[in-house]
Structure 1
């Protein structure tokens, strides 16, 4: 559920000619690219919007009309043919996708990769397109059936909701593969998906419902159990923080509380490194900073009793009617990010989801209308099975692979949600981990926040990470990360037992390397220099 409202990891890339790059373009590449504008018409629903050569070292302006989709313009890392396409999915809906097809595609394995979206998901992840095409993939991204990180396009448009739930991804993938095959005049060999947050949910949806489309799926911080995820943030905002009070904590207080949590739990793993290796074992005690009579935050940097109560409750699960478990509480370790759900206004994603998708009622508010009966209704409707909680029987039958990961310092979407999904698959399929390993592996990543960033070895070569590393994408080695580990699993039969993570200094130097263990094993400090991966084991 990566938020471009909360913080943006989606890039926009811009386009100006670069004569120095033109000498590296194979004969006929540019002409074949331009010809797609007239020659690519796989069906009557498909319209080519642009077909052009983009040159390494140039800039390209993101064409999205929505400002939340546009940030700084990084430089293109490689020459690509850019194809922009609109595909009608019904009489009232359509999906726009972009395919970036690099010159060295054949030499680098004839691979196809689809990228995911974030939040309410209408922003193409151009930074991912840039980096993955640099790695040699024919790389696609789509707008998920609408523009911008808002649910307003859902209003009285159920076909747009259907696109958001799954159809945009499926449609863009099918048409995108045809475009890649036509452009290169060859058949792609292997197909992959990589996404995080809402993009992680898209990956799970593909694994559950149309796994035949992707040989390997990499899904990070997946927003599965979607309806309860949407509801949970409003539950905590309304019933835990209470909208009738001022902000629970100021930004300064949230930072102080984050630091206090790390102080209380950092050494549980035997290493003082500002990383809580297993936050499931951390039960922070806000009362340790409780104000004594006559003390205040201004005088003593302490918390009131009401503040301590709220801080304790945000880590507790969200229960519904009849004490039914609905969603895990927040994990300790990145409370400054968690604080984004506790702003003055109600969480915008819940508002948009209920107003424009579930109820089609513009007047609906969290303050007046959100309650546990509303949660039950959203779950009963479960628009287009967006809860994404099925097992992986179809994936197993195809022989294709799923790799999931989740940052254990994710302050927006609890990693326990990914833990619980994995264990639900174990139960539903009646398969222990040793039997799931042939097609499904899950890696918790200590020190990783929501999709990108963190105090630990957070860079694992996943979605939304390429533009977030202090070093540029071309200087961060992706080997051992989630995507290239999936490629090795699919193409060489070498399944990953560990995922290599990297941490950085402020000036972009790699200062930390660490292996992250396959669930249910846990990273355990063995002794020695904790910045070296040999000092850790999986037990």
Structure 2
């Protein structure tokens, strides 16, 4: 009975998602008509034929394409929001706007965003159209810079609508618009529909699987910023850890942990744990097995630039003159900060609140510092000031945050509401819990019940770099484990797989090999039922860095076949360690990465999921807060 209901729900969602599927097909770009989009109203539709548009294909090839460029503006009721949806429809070379079967591969691809941006537009649409897809992007009504206007009324209909758009609705409506326009222009619906995104885009993909399970046949969600309310609060933990160890003074001064010291600790991690996989190449392949003790570096002198030197108050710094080098001696206080960053946020009684960085990930982004005090990661600072604290501190509601970053950083480096909010463990815990209780229902994207998505025949493919310095990989693995707990491992494996990329940073970069064409693997899974056991990955040859962290890093091109979690990658024992054929995936402990807690943490990290249902009841009916312009960051 339950499975029948799920199938019916999936079918109903599929019918709803077709939007304007009943419209008569057009054969020319200029003849496209506004589709029907659920509860939204189409304010305008503009369509124009564009020829010789320069784009770059997924494989890096540069080429020019002809396309039908459609911009649709939506609004919702009397909220006065304006949502832009842009759809690029491939046409034949030198087209006059007529549909071309040869230019279109028969598929539709919706694309995701980054930070507080709901969509990336040309940057995402170009590669998709170059590969033959009809493609779409949306701004959710907050523009290309993620702008939420100030409202005098905290329950403003516009404010609430914009956040709903960004959190959950805009990608669904983009799917409805895109599919309808595809059918109009080409005279038939897309044979298959896909979503692709990383970070915020990854979160959007998971939200689609959870709330609109029939929108897409396949979802590619990389480094997903799911568990958003906890993730954004956890991004503040390194900033809090710095303040706990080195409190800021009333005038905003204080002793930071210089980036060179954090780099030295990361280099120590690599030296201690690089060879666990059988090859010394600067890549920590098995962070869950890494046992690095930061105190082993106490007393070591680290060479830094004069701008990084620090000094006084336990910093151990000796500043140079006129840009000369300086040295910093690592202290127990420095080691304590680094340990806290890796351990992740914890309450005053030592219970884990969420995850921290994995060994091998750079701590300098989230634990960013300036010469005169700490400067928290901008996206996390935005979330703290303009979302969480907006309920209690009207002074935090300033609209110039994104436009005047230096001023914002100066303000954050002083003892004002936003700084003292996380200055100690109890204060931080309060902020973490408030973020979760107020925002999880709207944007948490942490519901593990994917049965409707499974019933609709959807496939969800994720990959996450284990050296991700922004979005903690354990959050993705936590979600996978909770989905398995709800269903079972075999059922989940049939439609949802997660691959881990050792040494790869947020959405790419770092010493490791990132997936070269994961969408191709997803297409094979969806259309030919060939489920991927590994993901081909590659890193191009690059010049070696002079930094401490990269001292052991390979500068040669490397290839890997990324393993499906919980398998882990090990060297076969012979052959060139830079080549994928000499590595294999072996069964690992089910929590080989997740096992990341300190002795003081008495509650297993996975136990945080047990509070989800209670958190939902707390958040029902909470009035939304004043939102202001937010900074678009690389999330």
Q: Determine if the TM-score, normalized by the shorter chain, exceeds 0.5.
A: yes
Task: Give the match for residue 217 of structure 1.
Answer: 219
8 Å CA contact retained: 1:443, 1:519: yes
Task: Give the match for residue 458 of structure 2.
Answer: 400
Counterpart Cα distance in 2 of 1:113 and 1:380: 34
Q: Which has the larger radius of gyration?
A: 2
Q: Which has the higher contact order (CA 8 A, sep 6+)?
A: 2
Q: 1:59 to 1:418 in 2, by over 3 A?
A: closer
- Give CA-to-partner distance per residue, 1:313-370, whole Å, 9 cap, x none: 1000312476553210111223165356556333333343344445455424431334
- Give CA-to-partner distance per residue, 1:29-54, whole Å, 9 cap, x none: x9822333xx3353671134542233
Does residue 535 in structure 1 map to residue 571 in structure 2?
no
Counterpart Cα distance in 1 of 2:36 and 2:255: 54
Q: 1:326 to 1:144 in 2, by over 3 A?
A: farther
Counterpart Cα distance in 2 of 1:336 and 1:238: 13
8 Å CA contact retained: 1:233, 1:341: no
8 Å CA contact retained: 1:154, 1:356: no
Task: Give the match for residue 273 of structure 1.
Answer: 281
8 Å CA contact retained: 1:401, 1:440: yes
- After superposition, residues 54-453 of structure 1 pair within 5 angstroms as 54-56=50-52, 58=54, 77-92=64-79, 93-103=81-91, 106-107=101-102, 109-150=105-146, 152-153=148-149, 156=154, 157-242=159-244, 244=248, 246=254, 248-291=256-299, 302-320=329-347, 324-335=351-362, 338-339=365-366, 341-342=368-369, 344-358=374-388, 359-360=390-391, 361-364=393-396, 365-370=417-422, 371=427, 372-382=429-439, 384-391=441-448, 392-429=450-487, 431-432=488-489, 434-453=490-509
Task: Give the match for residue 501 of structure 1.
Answer: 537
Task: Give the match for residue 488 of structure 1.
Answer: 524
8 Å CA contact retained: 1:95, 1:146: yes
* Matched position secondary structure for 2:432: helix
Q: 1:340 to 1:317 in 2, by over 3 A?
A: closer
Task: Give the match for residue 16 of structure 1.
Answer: none
Task: Give the match for residue 524 of structure 1.
Answer: 570
Q: 1:168 to 1:341 in 2, by over 3 A?
A: farther
Deviation at residue 500 of structure 1 after TM alignment: 0.4
Q: 1:331 to 1:90 in 2, by over 3 A?
A: farther
Q: 1:510 to 1:139 in 2, by over 3 A?
A: farther
- After superposition, residues 21-40 of structure 1 pair within 5 angstroms as 32-36=28-32, 39-40=33-34
8 Å CA contact retained: 2:218, 2:522: yes
Deviation at residue 188 of structure 1 after TM alignment: 0.9
- Give CA-to-partner distance per residue, 1:511-535, whole Å, 9 cap, x none: 2221001111111110211122110
Runs of 4 or more, structure 1, over 6 Å off, are 292-295
Counterpart Cα distance in 2 of 1:227 and 1:200: 15
8 Å CA contact retained: 1:241, 1:342: no
Counterpart Cα distance in 2 of 1:423 and 1:406: 15
8 Å CA contact retained: 1:406, 1:451: yes
Task: Give the match for residue 27 of structure 1.
Answer: none
Counterpart Cα distance in 2 of 1:247 and 1:175: 53
Counterpart Cα distance in 2 of 1:196 and 1:228: 18
Deviation at residue 304 of structure 1 after TM alignment: 2.3
* Matched position secondary structure for 2:463: strand
Counterpart Cα distance in 1 of 2:265 and 2:492: 39
Cα RMSD (Å) of the superposition?
A: 3.0
* Matched position secondary structure for 1:212: coil
* Matched position secondary structure for 1:404: strand
8 Å CA contact retained: 1:240, 1:314: no
Deviation at residue 238 of structure 1 after TM alignment: 2.2
8 Å CA contact retained: 2:225, 2:471: yes
What are the ranges of 5 or more consecutive residues in structure 1 without an aligned counterpart?
1-29, 61-73, 462-480
Q: Count residues with an aligned counterpart.
A: 473
Task: Give the match for residue 606 of structure 2.
Answer: none
* Matched position secondary structure for 2:420: helix
8 Å CA contact retained: 2:466, 2:502: yes
- Give CA-to-partner distance per residue, 1:439-486, whole Å, 9 cap, x none: 11110111211002121212x14xxxxxxxxxxxxxxxxxxx321111
Counterpart Cα distance in 2 of 1:484 and 1:286: 42
* Matched position secondary structure for 2:265: helix
Counterpart Cα distance in 2 of 1:326 and 1:340: 18
- Give CA-to-partner distance per residue, 1:268-319, whole Å, 9 cap, x none: 1111111111222223333232226998576655422221211121000312
